[in-house]
Amino acid sequence: MPCGCSDCKTPQYFDDRHARKELRKYHRAGPRKTTRHLIEQLRASGASGTLLDIGCGTGILSFELLEAGLSTATCIDAAAASLSAARAEADRRALTGRITWTEGDFVELAGSVPGADVVTLDRVVCCYPAYRPLLEQAAQHSRRYLALVYPRERWLVRLVIGLENLWLRIRGSEFRAFVHSPASIDEVLRKAGFTVSRSDRTLVWEARLYARPGSKEPSAAPPS
């Protein structure tokens, strides 16, 4: 999981080793399934313009969306190791000139972050114990679309994440993951003026695309 929250000890968890592992997997097999869901949802909706990638991690979602046609990206993450790896990968892909990098907690930095046509949070909500301020600020920064991935509220998911948190505690890590109510997430975004446009699920994760009223979707299939 990438992350944007400074309170959840992200640099401790998302270190150099983690970043290298993420990129190795990406180079070998492409984006993970939930990231592919977000990409497909945005492509099918005809999303265009600028991107704000909150908790960008090693930048994989941003790279894919820029190569799919979005113009520029603002990438924010609290883990310096993730951003360092992302910058190197962006340079390798000749995308450096289209990306602005910012290290820190998005909620704390929100006042200085520009808005965008598309805002993404790929496995980021689960890093925040207080998710409402995160989603409220993310919604305020989105002009058209807000796409996110978060854990499904199922007993099996809670068990898995609980065991992961226990293992982290045993290892001495202060990082924790959280399962927040999907209904509460939906409530925050609907109050901000969004409606659900598309949704996909895996066993553990929910990938959802929210749109503001008037965000035009193509009547035909999206371009390949």
Tokens (6 digits) for 15? 């270190």
**CB 121 within 8 Å of CB 76:** no
Beta strands in 51-115 (DSSP E): 51-54, 73-77, 99-103
Planar angle of CA 209, 108, 34, nearest 5 degrees = 25
pLDDT tens digit sequence for 103-156: 999 999 999 999 999 999 999 999 898 899 999 999 999 999 999 999 999 888
Strand partners, 99: 73
Spans of the chain below 50 pLDDT: 1-6, 8, 218-224
Q: What is the pLDDT of residue 216?
A: 66
**CB 37 within 8 Å of CB 67:** no
Q: What is the pLDDT of residue 13?
A: 64
Show the domains of the chain with their CATH numbers. Answer: 6-211 (3.40.50.150)
Q: What is the pLDDT of residue 124?
A: 94
